[in-house]
Amino acid sequence: MAHVARPDFPRTIVEFHALFPDEESCARYLAQSRWPDGFSCPNCGCIEAYALPKRRLWQCKGCGRQTSPTAGTVLHRTRVPLQLWFHAAYLVSTMTPGLSAVQLQRQLGVGTYETAWTMLHRLRRAMLRPRRDRIGGPVEVDECFIGGSRSGKRGRGAAGKVLVVGAVEVRGEGSGRIRLGIIPAATQAALTTFIRGNVADGARVFTDGLASYAPLASLGYDHRTVIEDEKRNHRNILPRIHRVFSNLKTWIKGTHHGVGAKNLEVYLREFEFRFNRRRTPMAAFQSLLGLTSQHEPQPVRRRWARTVRS
Ligand SMILES: [Zn+2]
């Protein structure tokens, strides 16, 4: 197999069908994604192989060893045609706020609800794989309550609510990647543990004046406190993280009609996945199918001369 660049990601459903009209085109795409530099036999290193598309296998021309490009992906050992999996992953990755098993069944025309549910479940589980890297500065960090009848800032009646802490990369006027976590309370220990686990060492970190953030400087972060004043309400002082929280609340309300604390962790991971790949549907599609390492796309670094001032 000669070296072939990864194909462009389809922008529309029409382009999608043109790119993946049959099982063979899907199998070819799989192989190109798994072996972007061309096939190489894990047994003998030979770079030539016969495709056995019906069995989703490649057979080495040198030693005859059969290799599966679906090993370790959601596509492995399923009877569902590749084309349906591709279509499902396309829908799940491009349709914010996501879709239900009933919608998927209807869209794919698959016979049973159970099949659609299983596919959807496996694709969504792919969003929950643990991340390895930390986001880079500068970042904004804040907390908010999710759930219950009202959401709001810390300190208010927290019955039935879950405290979520979030960090977002400041990128010019916009936002880069995010990290979200659930914490029991806005304590020093909880907040610094979250930040150390999710934000690169030494990064500039903007927070409000909550005392629990005070140790950040001694932990090596370039901590900047943004003070709320009477002219500016709280919403305006850390605009990016507040926008993230507001989108998160809208998404949870609209898609999941509110969630209990038990499921919130799963929804936070899905929201993170979608948010961090919102400009790179190709990366989302491939991650869902398990075709890439789990590294998130790095946002393009822009000059950010005009940024939040503390
Ligand atoms: Zn071989």
Distance 38 CA to ligand 1 centre (A): 14
Check residue 63 and give its pLDDT.
95
**Ligand 1: centre distance to CA 60 (Å):** 5
Assign 120 to helix, strand or coil. Answer: helix
Mean pLDDT of 17-27: 88
CB contact at 8 A, 42 and 65: yes
Average pLDDT, the chain: 82
Q: Is 242 or 304 the better-scoring residue by pLDDT?
A: 242
- Extract the tokens encoding 196: 């150390």
Taking the centre of ligand 1 as the mean of its atom positions, its distance from the CA of residue 43, in whole angstroms, is 5
Strands 222-225 and 204-207: parallel
Ligand 1 centroid to Cα of residue 75, in Å, is 23
Pairing verdict, β 49-52 and 57-60? antiparallel
Report the separation in Å between the CA atom of 245 and the middle of ligand 1, taken as the mean of its atom positions.
52
- Using a 10 angstrom Cβ sphere, with 0-12 exposed, 13-18 middle and 19 or more buried, the burial of residue 132 is exposed
For position 2, what pLDDT does the model report? 41
* Predicted confidence (pLDDT) at residue 199 exceeds the cutoff of 70: yes
Omega before 239 within 30 of 0, i.e. cis: no
- Alpha-carbon span 115 to 200, nearest angstrom: 41
Tell me how far CA of residue 27 lies from CA of 130, 174, 216, in angstroms.
27, 38, 50
Q: What is the pLDDT of residues 24-39, one digit of tens each?
A: 888 888 888 888 788 8
Please tell me the distance from the alpha carbon of residue 76 to that of residue 68, in angstroms, as a whole number: 8
- Selected residue with higher pLDDT from 77 and 213: 213
Q: 38-78, pLDDT tens digit by residue?
A: 888 989 999 999 888 777 788 999 999 998 888 777 887 77
Q: What pLDDT is attached to residue 232? A: 58
In terms of Cα–Cα distance, which of 135, 92, 84 is closest to 298? 135
Report whether pLDDT(256) > 90.
no
Ligand 1 centroid to Cα of residue 55, in Å, is 18
- Structure tokens of 96? 């914010």
Buried-exposed string 90-109: b where 16+ CB fall within 10 A, e elsewhere: bbbbbeeebbebeebbebbe
Tell me how far the alpha carbon of residue 152 lies from the centroid of ligand 1, in angstroms. Answer: 61
- What's the rounded Cα separation, in Å, for the pair 237 and 228? 7
Does the pLDDT of residue 295 top 60, yes or no? no
> With 70 as the cut, is the pLDDT of residue 193 above it?
yes
Q: Which of 69, 71, 72, 84 lies closest to 34, judged by CA?
A: 69
Mean pLDDT of 115-129: 85
Higher pLDDT, 35 or 89: 89
CA separation for the pair 247, 224 (Å, rounded)? 25
Ligand 1 centroid – CA 46 distance (Å): 5
Tell how far the Cα of 58 is from the centroid of ligand 1, in angstroms: 10
Query: How far is CA 295 from its chain centroid?
Result: 10
* Å from CA of 8 to ligand 1 middle: 30
Distance 69 CA to ligand 1 centre (A): 15
83 CA to centre of ligand 1 in angstroms: 28
| Percentages (nearest 5) of helix, strand, coil residues in the chain | 40, 15, 45
- Tell me which residue of 123, 172, 64, 171 sits closest to 270, measured CA to CA: 123
The rounded Å distance from CA 47 to ligand 1 centre is 8
Return the pLDDT at 300: 45
Distance 40 CA to ligand 1 centre (A): 8
Q: How confident is the model at residue 237 (pLDDT cuts 50, 70, 90)?
A: confident
| 140: exposed, middle or buried (Cβ count in 10 Å: 0-12, 13-18, 19+) | buried
Read off the pLDDT band of 289 (50, 70, 90): confident
CA distance linking residue 233 with residue 193, whole number of Å: 28
Q: Say how far apart CA 91 and CA 124 lie, in whole Å.
A: 12
Mean per-residue pLDDT, 111-129: 86
Q: Is the pLDDT of residue 83 over 60?
A: yes
